[in-house]
């Protein structure tokens, strides 16, 4: 039974038409697409013939047209040394009887005439360039969007990162380190995050999004507070310990607007939604000032600062407070002082201001709040007993009578205070 060899199915018009559709879906401009197509055709021609300098490639992606012309110089019969660059006089006159030696013949050729290998090479080259073009398009689309909030759908979650897709099916990576403590995402869920980085390593774009970046909190506030959107209030600085606590410094450009009140809202209604989004992250809003000392004082709130010694060169600040204010300034786990340092750009050291009425070796009762419950210390202070020596200088019976505390409690207080002086 006779069999017919199957011809390579290659239609340049259909190929160009499909690429024209690609241009529309990927928002690629016509000039770029034409350049890529011409570059691919020329690359294949150059691989086969050693050069593409004597070829004209004319493309029209909108109509699906492709025309290739080979330009050769007419030489005498028997003098052809490079068939790609030269044509004999007799062959030239088969095309047109008027050709003479030294003239240039421009002859249209079909790409299929280059052979099966050329077609395979073209497809491989196009696939590589189209992928590269798509990557460039994604990178150029996102590189100027750093700091923008995006909504995405969770495609897949792994131990170290979550893959998120936007409404155009662009892929974004949310690393575990950029997730707020308490974040847990299931496939198909939607989430909000800010674009923090756009890398393009080896031509492979990678869009990194974050929910811990201070910019995320700033963008959420901008969306929630109309005065910020209208330019009446500016966010000057944001400091965050994600999922735990944040401090935001704001400034008003209208004397009639209280920037703190506007951001917080009535009964905190403007920040409630943001707090829920960030899994209970406590947000402190405070008024911005260019006065560094005053800014440090505000940043250490709710602690009351007595005085500050500044070292501008080293960006350090020594803050003096009363004994009962030190724990407030430091905050739980050091969070308050850490955020204050982040907000002001200064390393902050807190010191207890020595009360001249207190003996040099006396110790404030507030320094024992790790060993004695704060409410017990408050009971002692309500009786005028603010230091360890004042308590130890009072008889056991008087302490019981004055404070109405249990005998065992008084004995434990005396033991703890006495042990400190024994050290």
Report the distance separating Cα 336 and Cα 38, nearest Å.
Answer: 62
Report the distance separating Cα 21 and Cα 174, nearest Å.
Answer: 31
8 pLDDT band (50/70/90 cuts)?
A: very low
Does some domain include residue 109? yes
User: pLDDT tens for residues 287-335?
Assistant: 999 999 999 999 999 999 999 999 999 999 999 988 778 888 988 889 9
Report the distance separating Cα 166 and Cα 155, nearest Å.
Answer: 10
pLDDT at 277 over 80: yes
Does some domain include residue 347? yes
Same domain, residue pair 244 and 201: no
Mean pLDDT over 73-94 rounds to 91
User: Which of the listed residues 102, 122, 140 is the one where a domain comes to its end?
Assistant: 140
Does some domain include residue 240? yes
Same domain, residue pair 185 and 241: no
Same domain, residue pair 342 and 381: no
Task: List the beta bridge partners of residue 307.
Answer: 320
Same domain, residue pair 322 and 400: no
CATH value at residue 84: 3.30.1480
CA 56 → CA 70, 72, 103, 213, 296, distances in Å? 7, 12, 17, 53, 70
Same domain, residue pair 98 and 58: yes
User: Which of the listed residues 140, 171, 192 is the one where a domain comes to its end?
Assistant: 140
Does some domain include residue 4? no
CATH value at residue 171: 2.40.50.140
Joined tokens for residue 389:
């020596």
Same domain, residue pair 348 and 220: yes
Helix (H) or strand (E) holding 318: strand 316-321
User: Which of the listed residues 210, 232, 265 is the one where a domain comes to its end?
Assistant: 210
Does some domain include residue 3? no
Same domain, residue pair 90 and 218: no
The predicted pLDDT at position 5 comes to: 41
pLDDT at 213 over 80: yes
Dihedrals φ, ψ of 390, to 5°? Answer: -65, -40
* Mean pLDDT, all residues of the chain: 86
User: pLDDT tens for residues 346-368?
Assistant: 999 988 776 554 555 778 888 88
Same domain, residue pair 74 and 151: no
Domain count across the chain? 4
Same domain, residue pair 265 and 286: yes
User: pLDDT tens for residues 105-117?
Assistant: 998 888 777 778 8
Does some domain include residue 6? no
pLDDT > 90: percent of the chain: 48
Report the candidate in 60, 10, 191, 43 with the shortest Cα–Cα distance to residue 121. Answer: 43
Same domain, residue pair 57 and 120: yes
Same domain, residue pair 343 and 383: no
Same domain, residue pair 221 and 200: no
**What is the extent of the structural domain holding 401?**
365-422
Does some domain include residue 384? yes
Total Cβ atoms within 10 A of residue 90: 12
CATH value at residue 237: 3.30.300.20
pLDDT at 422 over 80: no
DSSP of 213-246: SHHHHHHHHHHH-HHHHTTSEEEEEEEEETTTEE
Does some domain include residue 69? yes
- The rounded Cα 255 to chain-centroid distance in angstroms is 34
Tell me the pairing of strands 282-287 and 305-311: unpaired
241 pLDDT band (50/70/90 cuts)?
A: very high
Joined tokens for residue 43:
């690359």
């Amino acid at each position: 039974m006779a069999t017919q060899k199957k011809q390579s199915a290659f239609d340049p018009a259909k190929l160009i038409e499909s690429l024209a559709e690609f241009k529309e879906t990927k928002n690629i401009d016509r000039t770029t697409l034409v350049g890529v197509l011409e570059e691919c055709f020329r690359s294949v021609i150059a691989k086969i013939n050693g050069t593409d300098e004597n070829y004209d490639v004319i493309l029209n992606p909108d109509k699906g047209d492709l025309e290739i012309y080979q330009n050769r110089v007419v030489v005498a019969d028997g003098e052809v040394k490079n068939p790609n660059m030269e044509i004999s006089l007799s062959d030239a006159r088969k095309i047109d009887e008027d050709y003479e030696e030294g003239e240039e013949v421009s002859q249209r050729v079909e790409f299929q005439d280059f052979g099966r290998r050329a077609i395979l090479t073209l497809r491989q080259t196009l696939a590589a360039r189209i992928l590269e073009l798509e990557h460039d398009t994604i990178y150029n689309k996102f590189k100027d969007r750093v700091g923008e909030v995006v909504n995405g759908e969770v495609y897949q979650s792994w131990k170290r990162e979550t893959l998120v897709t936007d409404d155009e099916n662009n892929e974004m990576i949310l690393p575990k380190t950029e997730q707020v403590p308490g974040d847990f995402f299931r496939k198909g869920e939607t989430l909000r995050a800010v674009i923090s980085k756009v890398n393009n390593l080896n031509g492979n774009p990678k869009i990194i999004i974050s929910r811990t970046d201070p910019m995320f909190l700033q963008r959420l506030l901008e969306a929630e507070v109309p005065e910020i959107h209208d330019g009446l209030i500016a966010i000057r600085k944001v400091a965050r310990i994600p999922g735990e606590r944040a401090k935001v410094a704001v400034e008003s450009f209208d004397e009639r607007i209280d920037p703190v009140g506007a951001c917080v809202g009535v009964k905190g209604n403007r920040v409630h939604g943001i707090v829920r989004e960030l899994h209970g992250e406590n947000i402190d809003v405070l008024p911005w000032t260019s006065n560094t000392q005053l800014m440090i004082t505000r940043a250490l709130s709710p602690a009351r600062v007595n005085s500050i010694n500044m070292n501008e060169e080293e960006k350090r600040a020594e803050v003096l407070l009363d004994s009962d204010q030190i724990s407030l300034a430091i905050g739980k786990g050091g969070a308050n002082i850490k955020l204050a340092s982040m907000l002001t750009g200064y390393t902050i050291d807190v010191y207890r201001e020595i009360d001249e009425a207190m003996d040099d070796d006396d110790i404030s009762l507030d320094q024992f709040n790790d060993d004695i419950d704060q409410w017990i210390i408050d009971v002692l202070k309500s009786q005028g007993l603010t230091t360890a020596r004042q308590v130890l200088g009072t008889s056991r019976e008087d302490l019981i009578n004055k404070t109405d505390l249990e005998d065992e409690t008084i004995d434990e207080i005396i033991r703890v205070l006495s042990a400190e002086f024994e050290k």
